[in-house]
């Protein structure tokens, strides 16, 4: 067992003693009854079933802008209601409490900031987890938020600002029916945020992906940064080695397949990365490769109005779930449905010059693969600036 107090760097390893191994003379002292040492979460732990110990007062334990408390604990008690089981306590500065509560665990944290006591608790966490097993209880204050954690999962939060009150009280470790291990006290906030994956290409769930598409994604971490050696990517169930560029705050992962994906294939992708504080994120998603041949035309909607007796303005919109409508979508027009204009690049707004005698306009649109819609027609009523209703359905 070790105890780390990074406010004034003390390390109590609890290997059969309470001596400080950091050289700063922050030795723990048994309070009234000598405790014992048992097998712990790592190495030895302090059995405080009938004992507790303290770290003598030092001014650095007060007037803090930030605070982190962490301790591994294993309870001997099965209580029908919460009992006052202190893990780490500096009276009128901060108190971390935890223990069993019937079939649940509970954790509570009291912190005194600028003379005001803030209390945060969760009385029903981790049903059926077995509190005779080791669990990690934590509390943090970052100058803006008070938070409590159970096994590294946040289970409570409230807002607070100011400085943690200082006094001459000792830091007491344990009035707890059980054992404690790896106690951690710091005047800083530990990085507990996982890396974030974003900016996927292809997008998760995307369809009609090119068979030669590269797979790219970014992974960022605002704390200690991403550990590049921790990055694991699989594509199609096979481990791959993506090219990694950027820096630890924001890496770009790029993997280019050596052979084409199969047409119509659904490709699973899994990603895992850890930051330099040991926080790990894992995600799984998939995309679907296009069919071998796109034979479906786009979906077109349009309306038109006569701007003047010799001009019609056509507004249109295209959508296509396969190869898409850009960059090679085209359109063509007719006044009789038989003779058509030459294909031209698609534009959502098109002005047509026509004779006054023309009574109908026809339009067709194509997607990137050259699949053309059936003719869409609408009738002209001869009036100026008049919205013209669509007379035909569209594909």
The pLDDT tens digits for 51-71 are 788 888 877 677 788 898 888
The pLDDT tens digits for 128-155 are 555 678 888 999 998 999 999 988 889 9
- Find tokens 């000792």 and name the residue: 170
Closest-CA residue to 385 (of 290, 313, 292, 315):
313
pLDDT of residue 54: 86
Q: How many C-beta atoms surround the C-beta of residue 111 within 10 A?
A: 26
196-288 and 299-388 share one fold: yes
| Confidence bin at 295 (pLDDT 50/70/90) | confident
Q: How many C-beta atoms surround the C-beta of residue 138 within 10 A?
A: 25
Pairing state between β 153-159 and 44-47? unpaired
Distant-in-sequence, close-in-space partners of 119: CB < 8 Å, separation ≥ 6:
108, 109, 110
pLDDT of residue 325: 62
Q: How many C-beta atoms surround the C-beta of residue 365 within 10 A?
A: 26
Q: Residues 99, 103, 107, CA angle at the centre, nearest 5°?
A: 30
CB-count exposure of residue 141 (10 Å: 0-12, 13-18, 19+)? buried
User: Would you put residue 309 in left (φ > 0), alpha (ψ -120 to 50) or beta?
Assistant: alpha
Global pTM reads 0.52
pLDDT of residue 391: 34
Which architecture, in CATH terms, is 3-186? Sandwich (2.60)
CA 351 to chain centre: 48
The pLDDT tens digits for 194-223 are 999 999 999 999 998 989 999 999 999 988
Count of residues in the chain: 395
Strand blocks (E) in 276-375: 280-288, 299-308, 311-319, 330-334, 344-345, 349-353, 360-366
Q: What is the C-alpha to C-alpha distance for residues 184 and 68, in angstroms, rounded to an integer?
A: 8
**CATH top-level class of 299-388:** mainly beta
pLDDT of residue 351: 93
pLDDT of residue 390: 37
Pairing state between β 44-47 and 104-113? unpaired
For 139, the enclosing helix (H) or strand (E) is: strand 135-141
C-beta separation of 24 from 6 below 8 A: no
Distances (CA, A) of 360 to 3, 238, 318, 354, 389: 86, 57, 21, 10, 11
| Confidence bin at 40 (pLDDT 50/70/90) | confident
Q: What is the C-alpha to C-alpha distance for residues 95 and 121, in angstroms, rounded to an integer?
A: 11
Distances (CA, A) of 97 to 32, 53, 277: 21, 15, 25
Per-domain residue ranges of the chain: 3-186, 196-288, 299-388
The pLDDT tens digits for 72-98 are 888 876 555 556 578 999 999 999 998
Which architecture, in CATH terms, is 196-288? Sandwich (2.60)
Q: What's the mean per-residue pLDDT of the chain?
A: 83
């Amino acid at each position: 067992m070790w105890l780390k107090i990074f406010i004034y760097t003390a390390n109590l390893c609890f290997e059969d003693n309470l001596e400080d191994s950091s050289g700063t003379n922050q030795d723990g002292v048994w309070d009234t009854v000598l405790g014992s040492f048992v097998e712990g979460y790592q190495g030895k732990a302090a059995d405080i079933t009938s004992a507790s110990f303290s770290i003598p007062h030092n001014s650095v334990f007060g007037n803090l802008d930030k605070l982190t408390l962490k301790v591994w604990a294993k309870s001997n008690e099965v209580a029908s209601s919460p009992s006052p089981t202190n893990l780490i306590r500096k009276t009128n500065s901060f108190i971390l409490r935890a223990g069993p509560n019937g079939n649940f665990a509970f954790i509570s944290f009291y912190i005194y900031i600028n003379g005001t006591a803030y209390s945060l608790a969760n009385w029903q966490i981790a049903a059926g987890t077995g509190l005779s097993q080791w669990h990690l209880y934590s509390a943090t204050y970052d100058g803006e938020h008070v938070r409590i954690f159970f096994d590294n999962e946040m289970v409570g939060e409230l807002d607070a600002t100011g400085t943690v009150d200082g006094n001459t009280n000792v830091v007491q470790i344990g009035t707890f029916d059980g054992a404690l291990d790896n106690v951690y006290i710091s005047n800083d906030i530990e990085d507990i945020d996982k890396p974030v994956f974003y900016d996927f290409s292809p997008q998760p769930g995307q369809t009609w992906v090119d068979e030669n598409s590269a797979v790219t994604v970014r992974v960022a971490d605002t704390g200690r940064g991403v550990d590049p050696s921790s990055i694991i990517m699989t594509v199609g169930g096979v481990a791959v080695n993506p090219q990694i560029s950027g820096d630890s705050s924001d890496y770009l992962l790029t993997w280019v397949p050596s052979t084409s994906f199969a047409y119509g294939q659904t490709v699973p992708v899994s990603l895992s990365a850890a930051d330099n504080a040991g926080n790990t994120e894992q995600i799984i998603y998939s995309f679907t490769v296009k069919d071998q041949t796109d034979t479906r035309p786009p979906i077109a909607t349009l309306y038109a109005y006569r701007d003047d007796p010799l001009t019609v303005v056509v507004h249109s919109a295209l959508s296509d779930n396969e190869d898409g409508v850009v960059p090679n979508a085209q359109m063509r027009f007719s006044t009789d449905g038989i003779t058509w204009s030459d294909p031209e690049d698609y534009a959502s707004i098109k002005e047509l010059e026509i004779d006054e005698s023309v009574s109908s306009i026809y339009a067709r649109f194509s997607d990137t693969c050259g699949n053309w819609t059936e003719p869409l027609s609408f009738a002209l009523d001869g009036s100026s600036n008049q919205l013209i209703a669509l007379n035909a359905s569209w594909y």
